[in-house]
Amino acid sequence: MPQRTPLSRERIVAAAVVVADRGGVGSVSMRSVAKVLDVEAMSLYHHVPSKEALLDDLADWVFARIELPAVGNTWREALTGRARSARSVLTAHPWALGMMASRPNPGPALLQHHDRLLGVLMTEGFSAALATHAFSAIDAYVYGFALTETSLPFEPRDGAEEAFADKVAASAELYPHIARSRAELFGAGGYAFADEFDYGLELLLEGLERRVADESPTLRER
């Protein structure tokens, strides 16, 4: 008879991810996770004290998968790399969008993540206040974009955006600006909603660059 793999906190969290990927975070319970592991729900309590603790671990699991800025990165590299990585993780696990900042007990991955990014920003001339503002603005942008991207009424792919636009084409007489926008976007070919992410991120970074230069004479002289 094959030996059963021992339970561990890591295995329990991994099973919770499976449950959340299938049915959203609302479907995560000790019973549903135990079912994935083929064990009794009570056995989970030897490793995780409560469902709330499991949800805290689940949120930390998400942060552990977002790329940490490397020591020596410039602030733009740090914010860009983190934003792209966070978008990738959140679109792969849309249930995480509602958990990123909602858990009352932040885990070590979240704390390390925030500490590293704040360290990069403040080393590069950001005040504590501006670093916090930058963090908040980028997070709001990434979370909002990921939510939009995962809620689109079509599967993004080559030509999908134009096909959807054709389906819901608005009257040029009633909505002339929508008609003009559509003609310009698709007239040149190659438009993809996904490309909006990097464009919008650049707009935010350019604004931050002006702000940090105002705060830091050293950066202004570069």
18 & 112 share domain: no
User: Are 211 and 101 in a shared domain?
Assistant: yes
Q: Does residue 4 have a pLDDT over 90?
A: no
Rounded Cα gap, residues 177 and 182, in angstroms:
8
Structural domain contains residue 124 = yes
pLDDT score of 77 = 94
Which CATH number characterizes residue 21's domain? 1.10.10.60
Q: Which residue type does 72 have? A: G
94 and 136, same domain (yes or no): yes
Q: Looking at the domain assignment, is residue 2 inside a domain? A: no
Indicate the DSSP class of residue 45: T
Average pLDDT over residues 4-9: 88
User: In terms of domains, do 88 and 41 share one?
Assistant: no
Number of compact structural domains in the chain: 2
The Cα 51–Cα 36 span in angstroms is 15
**Buried (b) or exposed (e) across 30-69, using 16+ Cβ within 10 A?**
bebbbebbebeeeebeebbeebeebbbbbbbbbbbbbebb
**Position 186 pLDDT exceeds 80:** no
> What is the per-residue pLDDT across 14-69, written as a single tens digit (0 to 9) for each?
999 999 999 999 999 999 999 999 999 999 999 999 999 999 999 999 999 999 88
Q: Flag whether 172 is in a domain.
A: no
Most confident among 70-79, 125-134, 146-155 (mean pLDDT): 125-134
> Does one domain contain both 29 and 78?
no
66: in domain: yes
Which one is predicted more confidently, 152 or 13?
13
**One domain for residues 39 and 68:** no
Cα–Cα distance between 9 and 187 in angstroms, integer? Answer: 53
Report how far residue 24's alpha carbon sits from residue 17's, in angstroms, rounded to the nearest whole number: 9
- Mark whether 140 and 45 lie in a shared domain: no
Q: Is the distance from CB of 78 to CB of 29 less than 8 angstroms?
A: no
pLDDT, the chain, mean: 87
pTM of this structure: 0.85
Range of the domain at 69: 62-156+192-220
Measured CA to CA in angstroms, residue 197 lies from 122, 143, 173 at distances of: 25, 11, 31
Of 90-99, 134-143, 166-175, 181-190, the least confident: 166-175
Q: What is the pLDDT of residue 141?
A: 96
Q: How far apart are CA 57 and CA 54, in angstroms?
A: 5
Domain CATH code at residue 90? 1.10.357.10
The residue behind tokens 């819901």 is 168
Q: How far is CA 167 from CA 171, 173, 191, in A?
A: 12, 17, 16
| Same domain flag for 71 and 127 | yes
| In a domain? residue 183 | no
Together in a domain, 69 and 39:
no
